[in-house]
A and B are shown apart, each in its own frame.
Chain A
């Protein structure tokens, strides 16, 4: 294609200049990058709130989160109330920011946007302007959410009624309205991806050849489109309850608080899979490339992804085992919940078998993919404790749930996102990051993460309830251990993202396909041109034939080499 004025090759980064061209762009790659920048800012804000939470938990009394010059003049009781109030605000902000602004848009809006059209061999998504609108709506929603943050709400990210109605009404109205708007962004992205996958595939790219990341985006998009409207309606009802007292959720005016939980979890359980399925898709791409072997059990991974999405819509009641549902509903939801475990286990076995007798490259993306498998097994097996009714009666709303959730979302979705960023970074910027620093960052992150959350499983066993600003003294040691390791967790992220950010400018140039992968995005330039491909590629074979590719190379070069 063309070149810039100073003779550089044109790509999506430099073909138009100026901030305005970014804001008005309909290029899925630019939108993906802008989403990435936005969600990472929120990730660090949410992370700061997490560190505030863990600082407060360093001592059993609520005494740390007190700000301002007059802190010394407060009576002990005032100090206690002030610290507790700030703690409650901190965990609410942590939850709201991490869920609604970071991990729900998460992988689909960032890597999904960037890669989906490339991976199906299209010039862009099906509706590029809708894609831009989706980003604008996300920006608007984030702005309103930030306004709500300054109202200092303390409901937790779940907005349970009637607490969210009886107290701090104004902030809750703003925050739920923001979440309502952000939901539209999610729906628009989902619709766009579904149509793109159905209609925009390159010639020859049949469903049975579709890359597994694309399949995972397909399953995710279905959930976004099906489940998000429910939370939209729920949050509107909550706003109406707050303003007009319509009596749907508030028992004081004849409402049913558990109805809110039903509606909320009907969305918020599937949303966990909106977070985790794309991460599984990323791992399914990385493992065959770095094992130089075809993915094991392509068909069963596809069915597992779609199966997880289907079952995800039927198990929301396990968030409410002790909330006052009928006993029969508890039994049924417990039974159904166990069937999420089966497709998840199948995927793990497939990944391991892909590595069997491969030729495994210990590059950064592979380290993340392997740690994902380990962390996700812990997340998955501790889910069994929570799905089992008799043990859940003990574990419900304790630190066991906190640890399980963080293994799923941080150990799963976030590690998956970081794995994907390290895998596709050369495609996004045409440069390679500093691998030794990336591996060091991975190590610190891995140790910090496990050190933070393993002790929380034990706290949960011992009976420590969640969302507690102060706690009985016997829990002190484990809380302190958790807080200390959280510093490493934070340091790990700073190093990992700092390394990637610096490498955008200082990284070594690398060729279009440094990992020798076969999926279509690697056939485009690095960074890709504005409309991805000069000529739309034809697909004759599936993308996981790494065994054939190696045979060809052996005849040419007499052995595979690989940059580490």
Chain B
């Protein structure tokens, strides 16, 4: 209508324009009502102010017809708003059978995307343009929420069951500064909640096929792969390489060091210790730290675990 306050992000999904239309319609009606009623209130307050209008000139204390009108009209507006919201939302909750399914795992503090052929990525979710995408999502620790503003979708990730959302991108992300649409975690999940961001890269079908076929990791040495995973799996958020204590212990000089735990006997940090700690950190908590790290069981293959261990071993004191 008037689009008084249209600050919605770029429209990149099939329903984004309808969501924005609805949003602008509600905003416009709200603005008009608020401004009009406030204007009437101010007019009364000035027109009938005590200095000028020393005694009230109306005794009306009710008016049934008026009251019926201002009960019925808001009710109709509300039912209409419910209906338009329901209509589009029903579509948002009904993924088509031919949608491309991509797995999403949320963890403190990052995302893991698993494509149909087993390929994985973390910093960027890559999807083909013009095709329905269904995300099947689960959290490996606390609640998270997957929010893509440009697609107008959001859904929480729980630890006890899968949740889903779907969308059909209408444009590639080349048009977005930075080349990706932002993805945010929208459910508070701890210290680095605000760092739990990723990018949505929308590409052509051909580029998408190339992307999921590409197994670049194979050519990397274990050390290079380990360094890549250190960034992508967000180890970097909690484990420094310069010896400083952040949320978790530093990797510098970790290999071969003596570890003391909140429970149980001290141990030397050897390969087996590192493997256990990566897969299930909660088993043994190093003294002075909290049980924060999610379990990576099932999210890393043997090759990747070996690469991470090689990378940690390389961080000499």
Interface stretch (choices A101-109, A182-190, A344-352): A344-352
Q: How far is the CA of A385 from the CA of B85 in the complex (A)?
A: 9
Point out the residues of chain B lying under 8 angstroms from A291, CB to CB: 48, 56
Q: Judging by beta carbons under 8 Å apart, are B41 and A352 in contact?
A: yes
> Is B143 part of the binding interface, using a Cβ–Cβ cutoff of 8 Å?
yes
With most chain B CB atoms within 10 A of its CB, the pick from A75, A370, A390 is: A390
The secondary structure that dominates the A interface is helix
Contact flags (1/0) for A484-505 with B, using CB distance below 8 Å?
A: 0000000000000000000000
Q: Say how far A60's CB is from chain B's closest CB, in angstroms.
A: 10
> Is A245 part of the binding interface, using a Cβ–Cβ cutoff of 8 Å?
no
Contact flags (1/0) for B116-152 with A, using CB distance below 8 Å?
A: 0000000000000000000000000111010101001
Cβ 8 A contact of B182, one of A323, A466, A472? A472
> Is B2 part of the binding interface, using a Cβ–Cβ cutoff of 8 Å?
no
> Is A377 part of the binding interface, using a Cβ–Cβ cutoff of 8 Å?
yes
Point out the residues of chain B lying under 8 angstroms from A393, CB to CB: 19, 89, 92, 152-154
Q: Judging by beta carbons under 8 Å apart, are B56 and A550 in contact?
A: yes
Point out the residues of chain A lying under 8 angstroms from B287, CB to CB: none
Q: Name A84's closest neighbour in chain B (CB-CB).
A: B191
Q: Say how far A468's CB is from chain B's closest CB, in angstroms.
A: 4
Interface stretch (choices A42-50, A111-119, A251-259, A520-528): A251-259
- Asked if A167 meets B158 with Cβ closer than 8 Å, knowing A78-B244, A544-B61, the reply is no
Interface residues of B in 71-97 (CB under 8 A from A): 71, 74-75, 78-79, 81-82, 84-90, 92-93
Q: Name B184's closest neighbour in chain A (CB-CB).
A: A465
Point out the residues of chain A lying under 8 angstroms from B49, CB to CB: 359-362
By the criterion of a CB under 8 Å from any partner CB, how many residues of chain B are at the interface?
97
Point out the residues of chain A lying under 8 angstroms from B19, CB to CB: 390-391, 393-394
Q: Judging by beta carbons under 8 Å apart, are B186 and A397 in contact?
A: yes
> Is A100 part of the binding interface, using a Cβ–Cβ cutoff of 8 Å?
no
Q: Judging by beta carbons under 8 Å apart, are A387 and B82 in contact?
A: yes
Cβ 8 A contact of B158, one of A257, A299, A356, A560? A257
Q: Judging by beta carbons under 8 Å apart, are A342 and B66 in contact?
A: no
> Is B215 part of the binding interface, using a Cβ–Cβ cutoff of 8 Å?
no
> Is B34 part of the binding interface, using a Cβ–Cβ cutoff of 8 Å?
yes
Point out the residues of chain B lying under 8 angstroms from A387, CB to CB: 81-82, 85
Q: Say how far A449's CB is from chain B's closest CB, in angstroms.
A: 15
Q: How far is the CA of A554 from the CA of B54 in the complex (A)?
A: 10
Q: Say how far B11's CB is from chain A's closest CB, in angstroms.
A: 11
Point out the residues of chain B lying under 8 angstroms from A151, CB to CB: none
Point out the residues of chain A lying under 8 angstroms from B87, CB to CB: 390
Q: Judging by beta carbons under 8 Å apart, are A390 and B15 in contact?
A: yes
Q: Judging by beta carbons under 8 Å apart, are B61 and A298 in contact?
A: yes
Q: Judging by beta carbons under 8 Å apart, are A359 and B194 in contact?
A: no
> Is B247 part of the binding interface, using a Cβ–Cβ cutoff of 8 Å?
yes
> Is B174 part of the binding interface, using a Cβ–Cβ cutoff of 8 Å?
no
Point out the residues of chain B lying under 8 angstroms from A292, CB to CB: 50, 55-56
> Is B185 part of the binding interface, using a Cβ–Cβ cutoff of 8 Å?
yes
Point out the residues of chain B lying under 8 angstroms from A357, CB to CB: 44, 48, 53, 56-58
Point out the residues of chain A lying under 8 angstroms from B160, CB to CB: 251, 254-257
> Is A310 part of the binding interface, using a Cβ–Cβ cutoff of 8 Å?
no
Q: How far is the CA of A156 from the CA of B88 in the complex (A)?
A: 32
Point out the residues of chain A lying under 8 angstroms from B206, CB to CB: none
Q: Name A388's closest neighbour in chain B (CB-CB).
A: B85
> Is A139 part of the binding interface, using a Cβ–Cβ cutoff of 8 Å?
no
Q: Judging by beta carbons under 8 Å apart, are A346 and B70 in contact?
A: yes
Q: Say how far B180's CB is from chain A's closest CB, in angstroms.
A: 12
> Is A230 part of the binding interface, using a Cβ–Cβ cutoff of 8 Å?
no
Q: Judging by beta carbons under 8 Å apart, are B89 and A465 in contact?
A: no
Q: Judging by beta carbons under 8 Å apart, are B22 and A550 in contact?
A: no
Q: How far is the CA of A544 from the CA of B187 in the complex (A)?
A: 48
Q: Say how far A555's CB is from chain B's closest CB, in angstroms.
A: 12
Point out the residues of chain B lying under 8 angstroms from A381, CB to CB: 26, 29-31, 33-34
Point out the residues of chain B lying under 8 angstroms from A330, CB to CB: 89, 93
Q: Judging by beta carbons under 8 Å apart, are B81 and A345 in contact?
A: no
Point out the residues of chain A lying under 8 angstroms from B89, CB to CB: 330-331, 334, 389-390, 393
Q: What would be 9 A-B contacts, judged by CB atoms less than 8 Å apart?
A: A162-B143, A163-B142, A163-B188, A334-B89, A345-B70, A373-B41, A385-B26, A390-B92, A559-B55
Beyond A160-B187, A469-B194, A560-B50, 15 extra complex contacts between A and B, CB < 8 Å: A78-B244, A81-B247, A84-B192, A163-B143, A167-B190, A293-B58, A297-B62, A324-B156, A345-B70, A348-B37, A349-B66, A361-B50, A370-B42, A397-B187, A462-B9
**Which 9 A-B pairs give the minimum distances between C-beta atoms?**
A463-B149, A381-B30, A388-B85, A251-B159, A389-B89, A357-B58, A251-B160, A468-B194, A338-B78
